[in-house]
Structure 1
Amino acid sequence: MYDSYGPRGGGGGGGGGGMGTSETDPHNKCMGGRMWCVSDICGIICAVMTWFLVTYAEFVVLTVILGTANHPIYTTFNLLLFNVFAILALSAHARAMFTDPGAVPKGNATRENIQRMGLREGQVIFKCPKCCSIKPERAHHCSVCQRCIRKMDHHCPWVNNCVGENNQKFFVLFTLYIALLSLHGLFLGIYQFVICVKSEWRQCSSFSPPATVVLLLFLIFESLLFAIFTAVMFFTQVNAIWNDETGIEQLKKEQASWEKKSRWRSIQAVFGRFSLSWFSPFTTPPLPTKTHSYMYAV
């Protein structure tokens, strides 16, 4: 018997949905289907704003703060450090945004696919009535991505994507490096502002004193705001990984029907075996073994 029920802990009611064929959703594709991309206008605006704010901070640091500094070592060190954080943060952001978070193909709940799963007599499967897909354990339906996402943590408009099984590492690194970048920008902005006040704004910047004040104050405000926001997100993500619970599972206080991993194995499931690649947004985390290929969108 193959019983079809509503989605596990997530969006949608029971049963429902016909036995369609597995299909590719253009809503989540770009570049001819070669890249995952969610076409959500709110998410796109937030993602563009993220890059704009980092570019603004880069402009102020280069032109207002370090452009007039008279200490070569101080200038070189802070220039390198700030740009390293910026490159890592934006790279992690891009990987989190354009990586398939673990989407289940739409319409894969066909009779043929269910039979291929080799279910035991009386074993229950879950099917999402919204995208007509077989719903793996710990998957939830995202109304923005319009897909069921394996081990979905939450949908983040700042990366215009869900945070799930395949891209959680990139999202964690994004929050980490934005927090470090913001703290560095906050230090540089406050330090430069103090110098300008002490020198009575003489030779403090290539801009006029009023423009310098506005640029520095906005940098300080931006850095403080995002340092707090991303630091909270980073520690929330680490705590969720540490306890092998997603944000949705913690929010809904779901009883663990899955076999919880040890804390170390849970971290390795996201980042891989311990190495410097943990901190690199350019290396792909370990992906789950695809025992059933029709359960994976990309």
Structure 2
Amino acid sequence: MKLRLHFVVDPLGWLCVSMVFGIWLYNSVFVPTLVLLPHYNEGHISWALVVCYYLASALCILALLRASTADPGRLPPDPHIPFSERADWELCNKCNLMRPKRSHHCSRCGHCVRRMDHHCPWINNCVGEDNHWLFLQLCFYTQVLSLFTLVMDFCQYYYFQPLTALDQDAFTTQHELALLRVSALMGLVMFGGMGSLFYTQMAGIISDTTTIEKMSRTLDEILETA
């Protein structure tokens, strides 16, 4: 499967990706600083727990980079159409190029994408035939990291032993409660959002239906009943 680089010039998409990156960076800095590393240094938790958190964080940001820069299945300007498949191709009325059926034209990207599921502003890229599996990886790893973050925030107050070596003048120590509350809120929102998105994407794969096709069918049903 080809993984060609693909960049979309969209300031709104860049803003959304920056917000996702900021949430990842926040939790990847403050959770280890406030919870994991201090408790590891005092022997309260195993080194394996620290390694697992950083591994989940690395997999999450790697999946974000891959999903946002991978070619979703962009059709070339002059595609080669096998003679036996010509009946399965159609003309796009927006870019006036031939495309296989179940392809869709993305107005944000400005081109047609094979088996396009939807355009996701949070990765500033379309989700299509060639990067759908990368998008699913991103959803899965984000759920893992978010759940990990929620568990660490919970354990900090209700399970872990109190820390003895604390620098009360440090910024992170003085604002620990506020920082971990923000971290827990981010983790809860990301886990719930990505969990529902992952479920709907898997349901679409099982039923062999894209998000665009689902929306089109729903709209047709509404128009029929109106």
**TM-score where L is the length of structure 1:** 0.64
Aligned to 1:191: 155
Aligned to 1:100: 71
Aligned to 2:83: 118
CA apart distance, 1:210: 4.8
CA distance in 1, matches of 2:201, 2:7: 23
Q: Is the 8 A contact 2:104 2:114 kept in 1?
A: yes
CA apart distance, 1:237: 1.0
Aligned to 1:146: 110
Query: How many residues are treated as equivalent by the alignment?
Result: 213
Classify the secondary structure of the residue corresponding to 1:103. Answer: coil
Classify the secondary structure of the residue corresponding to 2:198. Answer: helix
Aligned to 1:213: 177
Counterpart residue type for residue 47 of structure 2: T
2:46 counterpart of 1:79 = no
Matches within 5 A, 1:253-272: 253=217
Taking structure 1 as reference, are residues 204 and 184 closer, same or farther at Cα in structure 2, changes over 3 Å only? farther
CA distance in 1, matches of 2:60, 2:172: 31
Counterpart residue type for residue 130 of structure 2: N
CA distance in 2, matches of 1:85, 1:124: 42
Classify the secondary structure of the residue corresponding to 1:181. Answer: helix
Aligned to 1:25: none
Deviations 1:203-239 (A, max 9, x none): 4975466511111100000000000001111111111
Taking structure 1 as reference, are residues 35 and 124 closer, same or farther at Cα in structure 2, changes over 3 Å only? closer
Counterpart residue type for residue 83 of structure 2: G
Q: Is the 8 A contact 2:34 2:172 kept in 1?
A: no
CA distance in 2, matches of 1:78, 1:120: 53
Classify the secondary structure of the residue corresponding to 2:101. Answer: coil
CA apart distance, 1:129: 2.4
Aligned to 2:135: 171
CA apart distance, 1:50: 1.4
Taking structure 1 as reference, are residues 180 and 136 closer, same or farther at Cα in structure 2, changes over 3 Å only? same
Q: Is the 8 A contact 2:117 2:212 kept in 1?
A: yes
Match of 2:21 among 51, 62, 68: 51
Aligned to 2:223: none
Matches within 5 A, 1:266-285: none
Largest Rg, 1 or 2:
1
Q: Is the 8 A contact 2:31 2:180 kept in 1?
A: no
| Structure 2 unmatched runs, 5+ | 219-226
Deviates further, 241-250 or 222-231: 241-250
Taking structure 1 as reference, are residues 135 and 223 closer, same or farther at Cα in structure 2, changes over 3 Å only? same
CA distance in 1, matches of 2:174, 2:164: 10
2:192 counterpart of 1:228 = yes
Q: Is the 8 A contact 1:64 1:207 kept in 2?
A: no
Counterpart residue type for residue 99 of structure 1: A
Deviates further, 152-161 or 65-74: 65-74
Counterpart residue type for residue 177 of structure 2: V
Aligned to 1:21: none
Q: Is the 8 A contact 2:73 2:128 kept in 1?
A: yes
Q: Is the 8 A contact 1:182 1:226 kept in 2?
A: yes
Aligned to 1:35: 5
**TM-score where L is the length of structure 2:** 0.83
Taking structure 1 as reference, are residues 200 and 75 closer, same or farther at Cα in structure 2, changes over 3 Å only? closer
Higher helix residue share: 2
CA distance in 1, matches of 2:162, 2:85: 79
Q: Is the 8 A contact 1:47 1:160 kept in 2?
A: yes
Taking structure 1 as reference, are residues 129 and 208 closer, same or farther at Cα in structure 2, changes over 3 Å only? closer
